[in-house]
Amino acid sequence: MHQSRAVRALLEVQRCYKPDVLFLSEAHLSDAGAERLMRRLGFQERLVNPSDGRAGGLLMMWKSGVTVTKNDVTANFIDVMVDDGRKWRCTGFYGEPAKENKHKSWEYLRVLQERMDEPWIVFGDFNEILFSHEKEGGAPREQRCMQAFRDVLSECELADLGATGDAYTWSRGRIKERLDRAVCNSRWNLIFPNIGVVNGEMTKSDHRPLVIDTEFYKETNRPLRPVKRFEGRWLKEETVEEVVRTAWQRTLLLGLGPFKQKVDSVHEELHKWDRETLKRAQKRMAKLKKELEELRRGPTTDVALDRQKEILLVIENLLEQEEIAWVQRGRANWLKHGDRNTYFFHMYASARKKRNMIKGVKDENGVMQEGQQEIVEIIKTYFTNLFSSQVEPLMERFFGM
């Protein structure tokens, strides 16, 4: 986990899913390593069962806005209580991998269930499947092993939450299995009726990230279309002047009228250039991830496995480019603090964005308005009056309009 490739993969998971709580098993981390990883990923609190140096290690991290109380931490689970106005129990679980020790995993669950009766969710790598269709390739799983898993879930009144995405959460060579899942009791399901589980995209690890979204099926209003703004990073591009010059000349050839219409046209051309040229790496990564998913869901052939390795190498390189891009977003005189620390620069750039956000504007009567539509109208009216009274004569003088 200390390797930069694994950290970059986790940063990608953090960027895509923005979890409030993150649980890692087989983390191979010391206590100090867990602390460094927590800070880099942007979490503020943690519980850890350190690795013995060869294998193992569990880590649960959460953000400061989440109230978490420790119940127990062992080599196989981290058990906590969460209070978000409702109290419920959360257990990150790692099942025994060896066949002869599977019974220990189920005994852990029984003991946990007996300790307290609360709304309860358990998730993680159980290292076992429930049914034969949850495995592809390799020797068939013995029915008695799967039955033992089904029995303990029934005894603990835990039900599988299912998942969307690929049917399998783990793969190695030609073998695929659904080893990772989330289960809960009925009381927890009543608290979170819109729960959804997604088997996420697999990159560095041989396991897919298990994404648990408590609002997955909740109907939401469609978000407002983001405003297109001028990007300061464009000024770092050698070709930006040529793009602006060409776009402006195009507006003259088209005979566009008002100055604002010309500026809007140039603005659109800049964003088109940004979308089609500067962000080509992001599109390429999305395309590669899609191809990787198709290969993993398709037949497991030598050609497919070789292609997956090639794609993973390219994705790793693109993730490194993204890390550098975040560094470039930070101010140059802060480089000494970063040591290529993506989390530091991500937080710094995001903090700048928050500071630059307009939360409210006073209208002509001195009353603070915070609604988006009211702010837009006040600014629009102000600049309309300003340009009408002062700028139009200048536009005619300098641009011949």
With cut-offs at 50, 70 and 90, classify the pLDDT of residue 279: low
pLDDT at residue 203, as a whole number: 67
Same-domain pairing of 39 and 182: yes
Inform me whether the pLDDT recorded for 75 exceeds 90. yes
Query: What tokens does 274 get?
Result: 């940004």
Q: Domain range spanning residue 385?
A: 361-399
Highest mean pLDDT among 1-5, 71-75, 282-286: 71-75
pLDDT value, residue 76? 96
**221, part of any domain:** no
Q: Which of 156-170, 243-257, 316-330 has the highest mean pLDDT?
A: 156-170
Identity of the amino acid at 350: S
Residue 117: alpha-carbon gap to chain centroid: 32
Tokens linked to 318: 């693109």
pTM, two decimal places = 0.60
Q: Which two tokens stand for residue 340?
A: 């290529």
Distance (Å, rounded) from C-alpha 82 to C-alpha 65? 11
Whether residue 161 lies inside any domain: the answer is yes
- 183 and 160 Cβ atoms separated by less than 8 Å: yes
At 311, the pLDDT band (50, 70, 90 cuts) reads confident
Q: Are residues 19 and 64 in the same domain?
A: yes
| Residue 223 belongs to some domain of the structure | no
Q: Answer whether residue 227 is part of any domain.
A: no
Is residue 340 over pLDDT 50?
Answer: no
Is the Cα dihedral 231, 236, 239, 244 positive or negative?
A: positive
Same domain, 185 and 246: no
Which token pair is 41?
């990923």
Q: What is the pLDDT of residues 247-277, one digit of tens each?
A: 888 888 777 767 777 788 888 888 888 777 7
Contact present, 149 and 106 (Cβ < 8 Å): yes
Q: Flag whether 226 is in a domain.
A: no
Handedness of CA 200, 204, 207, 211 (dihedral sign): negative
Residue 142 phi/psi, 5-degree rounding, is -70, 140
| 310 and 368 inside one domain | no
> Are 61 and 21 members of one domain?
yes
Q: What is the mean pLDDT of the chain?
A: 81
Asked whether residue 370 is domain-assigned, the answer is yes
Considering the domain architecture, whether residues 37 and 173 belong to the same structural domain is answered as: yes
280 and 194 inside one domain:
no
Provide the token pair at 334: 């802060």
User: 390: helix, coil or strand?
Assistant: helix
187 found inside a domain: yes
Q: Are 324 and 290 in contact (CB under 8 A)?
A: no
* Nearest-angstrom CA–CA distance, 75 and 90: 16
Domain tally, the chain: 3
